[in-house]
Amino acid sequence: MGMWLVLVLFCISRADFTVLPMGVMGGVDDSDLSGYAVASTSLPGHYVMCDAGTLFAGISKVLSSHTASLVLGGVDDELQFLRENIHAYLISHAHLDHVAGLAINSVDDSKKPIIALNSTLQNIANHIFNWQVWPDFGPKGLGTYDYWEVSSYIPISIPSTPLTVLGFPVYHSYPYLSTTFLICDEEENCVLYFGDLGPDSIENKKVLSQNGNNTDLARQVWTKVAPKVLEKRLHAIFMESSYADGVADDKLFGHLTPKWLMEELRALSEEILKLDPTATGALQNINVVVTHVKPVARENIREKVKEQLAAQNIFGINFIFPEQGNAFLVGSHTYSPYPTSPSLSWWVITLIAFVSLLFLTTLVFAYLLYRRQNKQQVVDYYDE
C-alpha cells in the first residue's frame, strides 16, 4: 500500500528530489548535526550527502520511520546504505559539525569522492585525515576518498546519479569561507544548499577593512539562480538560521537569524526583478528548508525562529523545518512529507475497523436471511 501511496504522491506533486535529513541542528546533540541526503526521483536510492555532521544516527532514524525499500532503495542496514547508496559528499566547510559523521564512518565507507572547495579539501586533508587526528582515508593514504575540487562554472557529475553540482564560495566568518552547492538533475531542475552563512553586509565590512575589496558573495549565488527561479526550476533552498533575532551583529560569528535570512531572500528577489520587473510574486511558495538552528543553553529555539520567519514572510515563502529521519519530497513549488511506515496504533485501528465491518456485514446478512425465512413461512401458511 505504501508503494501506491508514493506513486500517487509522485503523480500529484511531480516531485523531482527526495531529501533525507540525517541531522538538522547546528549544535549540542552530536547525533543530530547538519547532513542531508539528496536524490533525484528519476533514480531513487542514489544519494549525494550535503554535509555529513551526522550519518549513522540519521540513517537509523530514516530506517525506523520509513519503508526502507522505498526511501533507501531496498536497503535495511545502516552500513549497507552508507556504502551502496551514498555516492559522494558535498562538504560546505570543514567545521566539525559538518564533517564529524564523515570522519567517524570513514572506516566502514566505500570508495567515493569528497567534493568541495580547494580550501575545504586542504583543511580535511591537513587537519582530519592526517594520521594524527584520524587515519588518512584520502587519496594519498588509504584511498577511500578522492578529493574533487568544485568550481562555480564547470559542473561536476556526481557518480552513479543523474546529478551535477556547482560550488560557490560564500562568507562564513571572514576570512573563513563556506560553500553553496547548486545541485541539478538532467532536466536542469535544481536544489540550492547553503552550508553555514554569514550575512554579506556584515562580513563585507570585515573584508573592506582588511583589503579594501568589497564583494557580495551570496549575491553572486542569487544572480546565478535568479533565472532558475523565474523558470520555476529551483525546487528548494537550504538556508541556515542559527539563532533567533535579537543576537547582536558582532555576536553572529558568521551565521544568520530570521532577519538576516530574509535579507538574503530580499537580495534574491532584487536579482529576479532585474531580469523581470513584473515578477513580484516569483518567490511565492518557493521551498526554503531552514537548517542549523543552534539550541541555546539546551533550549530549542526552533519555535522562536519559526514564529519570527512567519512574521517576516513578505514573499509567501514555504518555510520547511526538517526533522531528523523524516524524508520529504520537493518539486516545482511543491512539498510533501514522504509517507511513513504505519505505526502500531495504525494497525490496531485498522484491525478494529475491519472486525467492526465484518460484524456489521454479518448482522445485516443475518437480518436479511431472517426476513426472507419469515416471508417464506407466511407464504407457506397461506398456501396451506
Which range, of 78-86, 92-100, 322-330, 339-347, touches Zn ion by CB under 5 A? Answer: 92-100
State the nearest-atom distance from the C-beta of 25 to Zn ion, in Å: 10
| By CB under 5 A, residue 97 contacts Zn ion | yes
User: Cell 552563512 belongs to which residue?
Assistant: 197
Nearer to Zn ion, 185 or 196 (CB): 196
**How many whole angstroms separate alpha carbon 304 and alpha carbon 68?**
33
The residues facing 127 across adjacent strands are: none
Which positions from 158 to 197 touch Zn ion by CB under 5 A, shown as an x/- string?
Answer: --------------------------------------x-
The torsion region of residue 369 among left (phi > 0), alpha (psi -120 to 50) and beta comes to alpha
Which residue, 97 or 216, has its beta carbon nearer to Zn ion? 97
Q: Segment contacting Zn ion (CB under 5 A): 94-102, 117-125, 146-154, 207-215?
A: 94-102
CB of 61 or CB of 95, closer to Zn ion: 95
CB of 180 to Zn ion, least distance (A): 13
Positions in 193-212 near Zn ion (CB under 5 A): 196
Q: Is 34 left (phi over 0), alpha (psi -120 to 50) or beta?
A: beta
Count of residues in the chain:
384
User: Residue 78 or 196: which CB sits closer to Zn ion?
Assistant: 196
Please report how close the Cβ of residue 55 comes to Zn ion at its closest, in angstroms.
15
Cα 116 from Cα 151, distance rounded (Å): 8
Which of 77, 76, 91, 83 has its CA nearest to residue 36?
91
Residue closer to Zn ion by CB (options 95, 219) is 95
Distance of closest approach, residue 283 Cβ to Zn ion, in angstroms: 25
| Smallest separation (angstroms) from Zn ion to the CB of 253 | 8
Considering only the stretches 3-11, 90-98, 104-112, 133-141, report the one whose residues sit in contact with Zn ion under the rule CB under 5 A: 90-98
Q: Are 293 and 319 in contact (CB under 8 A)?
A: no
The one segment of 4-12, 93-101, 109-117, 244-252 that binds Zn ion by CB under 5 A: 93-101
The string of DSSP codes covering 136-173 is: --STTTT-SEEEEE--SSSPEEPTTSS-EEEEEEEEEE
- 305 near 38, Cβ under 8 Å? no
User: Residue 196 or 203: which CB sits closer to Zn ion?
Assistant: 196
- Bridge pairing between strands 15-23 and 234-240: unpaired
Interaction between residue 95 and Zn ion (CB under 5 A): yes
The residues facing 39 across adjacent strands are 18
At 376, which amino acid appears?
Q
61 sits near Zn ion (criterion: CB under 5 A): no
Per CB under 5 A, does 255 bind Zn ion? no
Count of residues that interact with Zn ion, criterion CB under 5 A? 3
Tell me the closest approach of the beta carbon of residue 206 to Zn ion, in angstroms: 16
| CA distances, 282 to each of 188, 232, 287, 362 (Å) | 18, 8, 12, 58
C-alpha cell at 88: 559522494
User: Contact between 304 and Zn ion (CB under 5 A)?
Assistant: no
Cβ-based nearer residue to Zn ion, 254 or 331:
254
- Which one, 35 or 138, has the nearer CB to Zn ion? 35
Do 87 and 158 form a contact (C-beta atoms < 8 A)? yes
Cell of residue 152, nine digits = 562555480
Q: Which residues contribute to the site for Zn ion (CB under 5 A)? A: 95, 97, 196
